[in-house]
Amino acid sequence: MEQGEDRILVEELAALGAVSGGSGRLTGLVARLLKKNAHEIDLVVPVPYDDAVQRVVGVLEGAGRAGRPAHVESDGDHEMIRVVAGGGAGGMNPVVVTALVTRGTGNRTEVKLRAAAKEGLIKQRAGEKTATRIAELLSR
């Protein structure tokens, strides 16, 4: 699941730096050096696989940044859904949220949720907090 997380986070932070009037390129270079705060949560959703996939897509798209659909990859018994959400102070820190939905038995579907964000000098634990928030939404 970590594949591409760092690249996405660096690109998002560089874009944020450029929009705020700074140098997006410099921000991207600095972002590569920052540590990452990542948190994983394993869930069992008590619904059939197809319903669980739709539920996860809906929750992640609701948590993601406006105008960006969830990225979905499928291979039959697994679906990987990924969005970029906002975390930290004011929701400004980009957080890559990835859910791996796996077909279980009967009306049980397994979801491995991972959220990752870059951390600056002030530790906001945006990855951890975002993973917890989305896990709560999925558990309802």
Q: Which residue has the higher pLDDT, 3 or 140?
A: 140
Residue 137 pLDDT: 95
CA dist 117 and 10 (Å) reads 10
Question: In this predicted model, what pLDDT tens digit does every residue of 46-93 receive, in sequence order?
Answer: 999 999 999 999 999 999 887 777 888 888 889 999 999 999 888 889
State the average pLDDT for the chain.
Answer: 89
User: Is the whole-model pTM more than 0.85?
Assistant: yes
List of E strands, the chain: 35-45, 71-74, 78-87, 93-103, 109-119
